[in-house]
Amino acid sequence: MNQPTSPFSVSELLPQEEMLEIKKAKGQLFIGLPKEISYQEKRVCLTPDAVNALTANGHRVLIEKKAGEHANFSDRDYTEAGGEVTNDRNKIFSCPIILKVAPLTHDEVDLIHPQSILISALQLKTRQKSYFQKLAEKRVTALAFEFIKDEFDNYPIVKALSEIAGTSSVLIAAELLSNVFDGNGLMFGNVSGVPPIEVVVIGAGTVGEYATKSAVGLGANVKVFDSSLTRLRDLKSLVGHNLFTSTIQPKTLVKALKRADVVIGAVRGKNRSPILVTEAMVKQMKTGAVMIDVSIDMGGCIETSEVTSHSKPTIIKHDVLHYGVPNIPSRYARTSSLTLSNIFTPYLLHIAEEGGLENTIRYEKGLRNGLYLYHGILSNKSVADWFDLDYKDPNLLIF
């Protein structure tokens, strides 16, 4: 009688050695913090307190001279925190890790050393194919901080900067309405006997939420429009106020715009913000009304908006004041820098604890989501589709 054949070989049936994971050795980070040279970029990724936290854990941070001056952090603040300050940009870009707010300029790409790690914004819509090709030639590993997710599947840096942009939009509108800026002389605030100003917020995302909270807190009458009833319902619950909300219906929106003193556009699209306020609608608005298009970096949701700068932030069209600065958080450089630093510092310390970026992105899905170049190989589908480039799935590259 034939004996049944075992599916296992003799060697497989013998006792085997147990394979235990070796504890990851804590890595030492060497971070270069360049001075931002992009147009009107005034933020810095790490504050002196963050540098102190990193150096206290045995890491090195090399800071370019005057990197934090626009955020009111002096070179002395950084040296007293344990950082090393240098005037040599070549030294900065020779560091294994480069931490920046804005993407590298073409000159900075030339300075970066092969096999470096770059952590910065990507700003995909402003990039060119040559940018990725040059980084690929240097086999750079690069993470875009606007793509990084947290444990709740949110984009923490985008959300934090959107909070600043939303609150800032109301503060800017308050300035532009004043007589100092040749506005209508109206004040945000519920002054006894004086009708409150009318504010229209288009978009109930993070920017719209914080714009609404700020405007309501100052005593304005606020009307919020969004295509999603769920977002409107959530916002109404968050604000805890008898808030006027509506889906985007042209007739209702036109009626609100005619009465508005301030309009804040905060709608984003996949590739471009949809135009929800047409030129015909703008023509029907009050003389001297203020329009702030926070979504201007994605084309704008107001048809008459144009990109402006911090030095010349407004234009007038159809007697309506338009504000179209794309980088609003940079207007408040110190607050924005503190916000970025609060997010980056725990990430950097965690990367070190895990033994380096390679180990961290292997196990951290949220951080891996920000990866768009891995040793020079494009690993982000959005970038590949946008520029018609080949890419490889990061999961196949890393594991």
* Identity of the residue numbered 228: S
What count of other Cβ atoms lies within 10 Å of the Cβ of residue 254?
15
pLDDT of residue 85: 98
pLDDT of residue 103: 94
What count of other Cβ atoms lies within 10 Å of the Cβ of residue 54?
23
DSSP 87-135: S-HHHHTTSSEEE-SSPPPHHHHHHSPTT-EEEE---GGG--HHHHHHH
The DSSP symbol for 302 reads: B
CB 324 within 8 A of CB 307: yes
- Residue ranges and CATH numbers for the domains of the chain are 25-147+333-396 (3.40.50.720), 162-331 (3.40.50.720)
CB 247 within 8 A of CB 272: no
CB 384 within 8 A of CB 360: no
CB 144 within 8 A of CB 120: yes
pLDDT of residue 190: 83
CA distances from 18 to 15, 24, 160 (A): 9, 18, 46
Residue carrying structure tokens 């042209």: 250
In 3-state terms, what secondary structure has residue 24?
Answer: coil
Whole-model pTM over 0.85: yes
What count of other Cβ atoms lies within 10 Å of the Cβ of residue 317?
16
Q: Tell me the C-alpha distance between 2 and 6, whole Å.
A: 12
- Residue ranges, the chain, pLDDT below 50: none
Q: Tell me the C-alpha distance between 83 and 91, whole Å.
A: 14
Provide the residue count of the chain: 399
Question: What residues pair up with 198 in beta bridges, in sequence order?
Answer: 221
Which secondary structure element, helix H or strand E, spans residue 387, and what is its range?
Answer: helix 381-387
* Identity of the residue numbered 84: E
Q: What is the C-alpha radius of gyration for the chain, rounded to an integer number of angstroms? A: 25
pLDDT of residue 189: 85
HEC secondary structure over 179-231: HHHCCCCCCCCCCCCCCCCEEEEECCCHHHHHHHHHHHHCCCEEEEECCCHHH
In 3-state terms, what secondary structure has residue 258?
Answer: helix
Q: Tell me the C-alpha distance between 117 and 144, whole Å.
A: 11
Q: Tell me the C-alpha distance between 347 and 356, whole Å.
A: 11
Q: Tell me the C-alpha distance between 95 and 85, whole Å.
A: 13
